[in-house]
């Protein structure tokens, strides 16, 4: 099994590759990863299967190889199994499209597709967690700064400043970070010599 993964996202491609290797049927797979499609090198590796990220513009190039046989080492066909539209639709939604060469067994491809989709979703979850962590950190910073503003302007303790912030957030039904951002915006206006 010779697989080519085309995905500009290294981490995601690695995860898809790991997923294919973990599948018992494909443990001896040779996996190549290219960030973008290179027609000139395709002949050298002659993949039996290409997995390409849906959002890659190169997908059109691969699609064209299906039509222009003379440019391809062998015809590339898109894998669309009518009886299994759900798996394919899920894979498309997840951003993975699989292309297989002629004559390759569709049942094995289906399992690869499932694994690839699963891995892709895992990666997307990790990505989402990371951006949430970043947003949380930013929110904490503005809350701390807003507390500082309240402490100086009202001469209260950090604990009291926090309670005021929290009460206001609860009363107005808004996140604390949003309340903190408002305080910071207004405190900027109140500074002497500005505006």
Partner 1 sequence: MVLSLKIGFSPLNNSALVLLGEALGYYTAEGLDVTLSREANWSNIRDKMSYGLLDAAHVLAPMPLSRGLGLGPTLGKIIAPMALGANGNSVVVSSRLMTALIHDDKAKLLDTARALRDEISRRRAAGAPKVVLAMPFAYSPHHFVLRHWVAAGGIDPDRQVQWVVLPPSRMADALRDGVIDGFCSGSPWPQMAQLNGDGQVLFSDPDFWTLKPEKVLGVREPWANENPDGVIALVRALLKAAQWAKDADTADLAKILAQPGYVGAPLEAIELALSTEGAGLLLDPQTTTFPWISHAKWFMGQFVRWGLTTPEHDFDAIARQIYRPDLWRQAAASLGLDIPLTDEKTEGGEPAPWTLDATPNPILMPANELFDGGIFRSA
User: Does 44 help bind partner 1 (rule: CB under 8 A)?
Assistant: no
Q: Smallest distance, Å, CB 46 to partner 1? A: 19
- For residue 187, what are the CA distances in angstroms to 55, 76, 182? 44, 62, 8
Q: How many CA atoms, within 13 angstroms, populate the side-chain half-sphere of residue 101?
A: 15
Residues 67-96, interacting with partner 1 (CB under 8 A): 67-68, 71, 78, 80, 82, 85, 88-89, 92-93
Residue closer to partner 1 by CB (options 14, 78) is 78
The structure tokens listed for 81 are: 């199994």
User: Does 124 help bind partner 1 (rule: CB under 8 A)?
Assistant: no
Q: Smallest distance, Å, CB 35 to partner 1? A: 12
User: Does 103 help bind partner 1 (rule: CB under 8 A)?
Assistant: no
Task: Determine the interface stretch with partner 1 among 16-24, 48-56, 119-127, 149-157 (rule: CB under 8 A).
Answer: 48-56
| Cα–Cα distance, 118 to 110 (Å, whole number) | 12
Sign of CA dihedral 6, 46, 105, 19: negative
Which residue is it, tokens 């100086």? 152
Contact by Cβ (8 Å): 126, 106: no
* Residues of the shown chain interacting with partner 1 in the complex, contacts defined by CB under 8 A: 36, 39, 54-68, 71, 78, 80, 82, 85, 88-89, 92-93, 97
């Amino acid at each position: 099994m010779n697989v080519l993964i085309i995905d500009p996202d290294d981490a995601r491609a690695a995860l898809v590759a790991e997923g294919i290797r973990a599948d018992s049927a494909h443990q001896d797979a040779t996996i190549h990863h290219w960030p973008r499609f290179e027609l000139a090198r395709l002949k050298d590796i002659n993949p039996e299967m290409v997995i390409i990220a849906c959002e890659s513009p190169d997908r059109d190039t691969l699609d064209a190889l299906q039509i222009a046989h003379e440019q391809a080492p062998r015809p590339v066909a898109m894998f669309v199994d009518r009886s299994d539209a759900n798996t394919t639709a899920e894979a498309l939604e997840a951003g993975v499209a699989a292309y297989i060469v002629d004559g390759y067994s569709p049942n094995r491809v289906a399992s690869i597709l499932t694994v690839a989709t699963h891995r892709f979703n895992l990666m997307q979850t990790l990505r989402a967690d990371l951006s949430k962590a970043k947003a949380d950190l930013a929110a904490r910073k503005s809350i701390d700064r807003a507390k500082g503003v309240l402490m100086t302007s009202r001469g209260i303790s950090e604990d009291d400043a926090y309670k005021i912030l929290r009460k206001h957030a609860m009363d107005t039904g808004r996140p604390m970070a949003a309340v903190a951002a408002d305080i910071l915006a207004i405190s900027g206006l109140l500074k002497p010599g500005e505006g």
